[in-house]
Amino acid sequence: MLLSRVLLRPQLALCLLALSPAVLFAEAPLHQRIDQAIAAAIPDFAHQSASPATDAEFLRRIYLDLTGSIPSAAEVRAFLQNPSPDKRVTLIDRLLASPEHARHLATVLDVLLMERRPDKYVPHQAWLEYLRSSVAANKPWDQLVREILSSDGADAKTRPAAKFYLERQAEPNLLTRDISRLFLGTNLQCCQCHDHPRIEDYKQAHYYGLFAFLNRSSLVVDKKLNMAVLSEKADGEVTFQSVFDPAKVTKSTGPRLPEGPPLKEQAVEKGKEYVVAPVAGSRSVPRFSRRALLGPTLASAENESFKRNIANRLWALMMGRGLVHPLDLDHSANPPSHPELLKLLADDIAARKFDMRGFLRELALSQTYQRSSEQSSPGKEPEPTSYTVALLKPLTPEQLAWSLMQATGLIDAERQALGKNATEAALYARLSPNVTPFVKAFGNPPGQAQEFDARLEQALFLANGAAVRGWLTPRPSNLIDRLGKISNTDALAEELYLSVLTRVPSAEERKEVTDFLTVRSKDRTAALQDMAWALLASAEFRFNH
Partner 1 sequence: MWCTYACGSSEHTISRRGFLAGAVGGALSSLTLDPFTRPAFTHELNKQQKRVLMIWLHGGVSQLETWDPKPGTKTGGPFQAIPTSVPGIHICELLPCTANIMHHLALVRGLNTAEDDHSKGAYIMHTGRRQEPAMKWPHLGSVCAKLLGSTDNPLPGYIHITPRGNGGVNSEDAAFLGPRFASVSLSDGHAPANLDRPAALTEVADQQRHEFRVHANQRFLRSRRTAQTEAYTNSYDQAAQLMRKRDLFDINKEPPCVVDRYGRHDFGRHCLMARRLLEGGATFVKVMHTNYDTHHENFDFHIEQLGEFDRPFATLIDDLHDRGLLSSTLVLVVSEFGRTPNINRNYGRDHWSRAWSIALAGCGIKGGSVSGKTNAEGTAVADRQVNGGHLFHTYLSALGFNSKKNFYIEQRPIPIADPKAAPIKEVLA
Contacts with partner 1 by CB under 8 A lie at: 171, 173-174, 176-177, 189-190, 192, 198, 326, 329, 373-375, 378, 392, 394, 440-441, 443-448, 451-461, 463-465, 469, 506, 508-509, 512, 516, 519-520, 523, 526, 530-531, 533-535, 537-540, 542-543, 545
Judged by beta carbon, residue 62 or residue 188, the one nearer partner 1 is 188
**At 105, phi and psi to the nearest 5?**
-65, -35
Judged by beta carbon, residue 46 or residue 526, the one nearer partner 1 is 526
Long-range (24+ apart) CB contacts under 8 A made by 503-511 are 503/54, 503/56, 503/57, 503/60, 503/76, 504/2, 504/3, 504/56, 504/80
Judged by beta carbon, residue 86 or residue 453, the one nearer partner 1 is 453
**At 240, phi and psi to the nearest 5?**
-155, 155
CB of 503 to partner 1, least distance (A): 11
Judged by beta carbon, residue 286 or residue 443, the one nearer partner 1 is 443
CB of 313 to partner 1, least distance (A): 17
CB of 273 to partner 1, least distance (A): 27
Integer CA distances (angstroms), 432 to 92, 427, 439, 477, 528, in order? 24, 8, 11, 20, 26
CB of 488 to partner 1, least distance (A): 20
CB of 140 to partner 1, least distance (A): 29
Cβ contact 150:292 at 8 Å:
yes
CB of 348 to partner 1, least distance (A): 29
Judged by beta carbon, residue 47 or residue 223, the one nearer partner 1 is 47
Judged by beta carbon, residue 266 or residue 518, the one nearer partner 1 is 518
Cβ contact 80:3 at 8 Å:
yes
Full DSSP string of 360-423? HHHHHHSTTTTB-SS-SS-SSPPPGGG-SSPPPEEPPHHHHHHHHHHHTTHHHHHHHHHGGG--
Integer CA distances (angstroms), 213 to 48, 154, 234, 236, 513, in order? 49, 19, 12, 11, 63
3-state secondary structure of 279: coil
CB of 340 to partner 1, least distance (A): 26
Cβ contact 160:122 at 8 Å:
yes
Judged by beta carbon, residue 429 or residue 534, the one nearer partner 1 is 534
**At 271, phi and psi to the nearest 5?**
90, -15
CB of 452 to partner 1, least distance (A): 5
Hey, how many other C-beta atoms are within 10 angstroms of the C-beta on 490?
16
By the 10 Å C-beta count (0-12 exposed, 13-18 middle, 19+ buried), 358 is classed as: middle
Judged by beta carbon, residue 177 or residue 308, the one nearer partner 1 is 177
Q: Which residues contact 183 (CB under 8 A, 6 or more apart)?
A: 145, 298, 299, 306, 309
Judged by beta carbon, residue 428 or residue 543, the one nearer partner 1 is 543
CB of 381 to partner 1, least distance (A): 8
**At 530, phi and psi to the nearest 5?**
-70, -40
CB of 416 to partner 1, least distance (A): 25
Q: From CA 490, how far away is CA 502, in angstroms rounded?
A: 16
Cα angle, residue 13 at apex, residues 77 and 17 outer, rounded to 5°: 165
